Structure 1
């Protein structure tokens, strides 16, 4: 061993005492001329405990397929480079140790905690293919405050317990591709982790416990494709993926092949790129599947193409710079809520079309969307008496509500504001709340015969504003007759809510002049009374009154003088009906006053509105 050390060659040793190895490294002989000293052991069995605590070793140490009888202690050591490949170690303690160059613990089996607390790797660190078996109550790996100057890979790592990366720092990438954290104590704890590049938890990564990345900073993307994550609850440190108050400068890739049992928690996290959940499955039967309150996404948030969630999708207060795309998603809510996204801000569009299914309420109240909200072909499945879609106080240039089928639950559009409202009468909910809804256009399907029933589905009964809004829409497109019909319907429905005297007065206005919206009705009534009076008085002339002289009697003018109040056509001052004709005259005078009063009232209402 000493001879090969001086030559820098490999030593195929059998059994070697730990003290001999320690003595060699601490009392290193000079290398042979023209050689570089190295400790290269292959296939050795090292008896005793190899304790190199606080040692300074200036040569590379490489051990392949070696077995250690006792733990390997590197606490506080200063090393050039270390490489353990295929070794069996009952425990490895490297707390506070540092290497000037790379450190490799590859394809090794460590029975006990791999202790890398405050360990510093001057180049890269590799744990690929190693197997870590934790002792009861202890983590499989403890790398708190670990520092790696370049990248770190733990691809194919097998851990029978928890992995701690609290406050660790890796300057380039950190990869756990194909790693498996198994057992009842399995978890990945990495609060305040700093990774300069991307973090990979993909390509068959399995974690049977929660992942805690609270306040982590990831300079690249977070990759979780083809991974299986399991959480224990929805509290802090219990979620399947806890990326809370974190920063991701790239994308969050958690799409095809991702299987999550538990909650994905993205609260208060900033993701400057895109969030991709396309094709993922997130199952949480005890709470939200995705909890992303106040998350900030610079690009799009995709959850399409077979994305399945059992548990609510929580996006209240989220800000998405691009689009929220849920087309083809299948959501089954928790406690009746499929999507809760109050005060959501989306720069482009919300797309819930193309086979989107929500089994529970879709709650988008006060959402602000830059382009369009689309539910074309979507199905929202709720029970009678529940809310299906809540867009209260939401706003967007366009809303498409051409659903696959009419929802049973209530659709609430109260106080929302849309530029274009596209819907289909065949898919209207039987319960529609339209109070305060504003829109600029109803393209293609604004037929008055269909729209009037649209206004009569509010569970609160009669609400005037939707009638005024629809009438204004018809005025804008030049359909004044339809606008008057809407306003007339509004007055008739209002009448049903008034006390009896007001209802009677309203009924009279309706019969006489249609509340001012059917003025021809008053004209025809006037013509009818004029014809009746002229016919009767032409046959039975009224008697002259006064001293004369008398103008020639004219039956039509006399009838008009009785019918029109506050006018003088020179007839009723000189002639007076007597006998039974008096009752006809009284009828004409009363009808004239009623007609004038009703017409004035209705005209005043119309003029005030316009």
Structure 2
């Protein structure tokens, strides 16, 4: 204890324990391939070059730590490959100038934790190639200068209590990548909350299992590169990316996400900010809700080829208030559950009519282009899938898009459909008035209907009055009776052609005159109402 030595080398030794508390070694400290039936006490140990524990087996007494290396300082590297600890390994507040190698190491017993909070490593941290831990791997607040490797690692959390993480990497600083693209198996929750990763997080093919709650928590994480979860990632438990900042892309192609048992959410990324694309397709299967509300995605948000199955929940995709350059909704099959896109703003929506969701909310959604560019009659069923009922904004938005593209007839068709969809929500008198406007002038968007109706009434009225001219009234003089002009005088309100004042029909022709006058007023009123609607829109 407190000794100062040049170096120490122990190889294939059997030890009852070893205490080197506060010792100083100018060169190496090696205890390789040893068997220790007790605790390795290396607290505050200082090593000038390399600290090596490769292949050593540590069997402490019940309730004691296997290795206690708190506040150890190593000027080069720490090698503990193939280490076997039947208890907890403490590296809290340790400092390793170069790399820390734990490849193939095993931390066992039910609570055999690896405690490395506030660890500082100048190079990389390697916990792969068969590394396993049956308790928490705690790297809270750690600073790793290069990458963290978890290839072929197996992490088993200590239990189901709050805070019992399989991997706690919260509030840490990672100078490179988190590499877990092959063979990582985790039973228990992982947290990367509030962690800064300069490189990418690569979880290709990883298996994350925590059916009791959140399998991966990366809320408020800052990632300079990609979040790569392609290649068969499997997560049973919620993947939480809320308020994360991703400089590259978020890639879940081919992943399988499953909501926790008794839960509804498979992936939540509310408030996420992504500099690249968000790929949630090409074989993605989500059993539960995907929530990406209030997100900012500077490129494409794609569900191309995805399967969304929220059979146990009401909503399959919630994307409210999100901004993206493009949104792809070409699902592999019709989603099971509501697709809510309210208040989402994108430049382009690309979808597939064969996989339109049964329930779709578009109220407040703003877009510039739709692909494929379907005729209005084929696109209108897309708007009628809101389980909450009629909302005017989706019709106005679609009409605006058609008008902007020069499809004026399609825009009018959409606006007429909007009024027809509104009709069932009105009181009975208003419904009658709506029906009349629809039949006569198409709510002002079909003005030629009124012209043709006037022409028909003019022809019929002129023929009837030519056959049975009205009698003159008053004391004269009388203008010469003209059936066409007389019929026009009856049809056109607020217009005096002199015929109506001079002649008065009798008998059944009186009812003809009344019908013509009433029809004229109705046509004039509906035309004025429709024109006012069009002018307000313009």
TM beyond 0.5: yes
Structure 1 length-normalised TM: 0.86
Query: SS at 1:396's partner residue?
Result: strand
2:22 pairs with 1:99: no
User: Which residue of 474, 481, 504 maps to 1:576?
Assistant: 504
Aligned to 2:353: 425
Q: How does 1:209-608 map to 2 (within 5 A)?
A: 209-233=135-159, 238-334=164-260, 335-383=263-311, 386-608=314-536
What is the CA-CA distance between 1:237 and the residue it aligns to?
A: 5.4
Aligned to 1:89: 15
- Taking the aligned partners of 2:279 and 2:21, their CA distance within structure 1 comes to 51
Cα deviation digits, residues 117-136 of structure 1 (max 9, x gap): 00110111111111111111
Q: Is the contact between residue 118 and residue 141 of structure 2 (CA under 8 Å) also seen in structure 1?
A: yes
List runs of 5+ in structure 1 lacking aligned partners: 1-74
What is the CA-CA distance between 1:234 and the residue it aligns to?
A: 6.3
Query: SS at 1:482's partner residue?
Result: helix
What is the CA-CA distance between 1:384 and the residue it aligns to?
A: 6.6
Q: Is the contact between residue 211 and residue 259 of structure 2 (CA under 8 Å) also seen in structure 1?
A: no
Cα deviation digits, residues 328-373 of structure 1 (max 9, x gap): 1111111121101110111011001211111111111111101001
What is the CA-CA distance between 1:261 and the residue it aligns to?
A: 0.9
What is the CA-CA distance between 1:235 and the residue it aligns to?
A: 5.9
Q: Is the contact between residue 184 and residue 206 of structure 2 (CA under 8 Å) also seen in structure 1?
A: yes
Q: Is the contact between residue 210 and residue 237 of structure 1 (CA under 8 Å) also seen in structure 2?
A: no
- Taking the aligned partners of 2:111 and 2:498, their CA distance within structure 1 comes to 108
Q: Is the contact between residue 264 and residue 312 of structure 2 (CA under 8 Å) also seen in structure 1?
A: no
- Taking the aligned partners of 1:234 and 1:102, their CA distance within structure 2 comes to 41
Matched length:
536
Query: SS at 1:105's partner residue?
Result: strand
- Taking the aligned partners of 1:353 and 1:470, their CA distance within structure 2 comes to 26
- Taking the aligned partners of 1:389 and 1:428, their CA distance within structure 2 comes to 13
Q: Is the contact between residue 32 and residue 54 of structure 2 (CA under 8 Å) also seen in structure 1?
A: yes
2:68 pairs with 1:161: no
- Taking the aligned partners of 1:233 and 1:435, their CA distance within structure 2 comes to 44
Aligned to 2:76: 150
User: Which residue of 114, 127, 131 maps to 1:205?
Assistant: 131
- Mark the structure with the bigger radius of gyration: 1
- Taking the aligned partners of 1:350 and 1:234, their CA distance within structure 2 comes to 31
Question: Which segment is superposed worse, 444-453 or 86-95?
Answer: 444-453
Structure 2 length-normalised TM: 0.98
Going from structure 1 to structure 2, the CA distance change for 1:533 and 1:237 (only over 3 Å counts) comes to closer
Query: SS at 1:311's partner residue?
Result: strand
- Taking the aligned partners of 1:463 and 1:386, their CA distance within structure 2 comes to 20
2:99 pairs with 1:173: yes
Q: Is the contact between residue 264 and residue 313 of structure 2 (CA under 8 Å) also seen in structure 1?
A: no
User: Which residue of 120, 134, 148 maps to 2:46?
Assistant: 120
- Taking the aligned partners of 2:454 and 2:497, their CA distance within structure 1 comes to 16
Q: Is the contact between residue 289 and residue 313 of structure 2 (CA under 8 Å) also seen in structure 1?
A: no
Q: Is the contact between residue 286 and residue 311 of structure 1 (CA under 8 Å) also seen in structure 2?
A: yes
- Taking the aligned partners of 2:117 and 2:397, their CA distance within structure 1 comes to 53
Going from structure 1 to structure 2, the CA distance change for 1:384 and 1:195 (only over 3 Å counts) comes to closer
Going from structure 1 to structure 2, the CA distance change for 1:236 and 1:196 (only over 3 Å counts) comes to farther
- Taking the aligned partners of 2:5 and 2:426, their CA distance within structure 1 comes to 92
2:9 pairs with 1:77: no
Q: Is the contact between residue 65 and residue 89 of structure 2 (CA under 8 Å) also seen in structure 1?
A: yes
Query: SS at 1:573's partner residue?
Result: helix
What is the CA-CA distance between 1:450 and the residue it aligns to?
A: 2.4
Where has structure 1 moved over 6 Å in runs of 4 or more?
A: none
What is the CA-CA distance between 1:236 and the residue it aligns to?
A: 6.7
List runs of 5+ in structure 2 lacking aligned partners: none
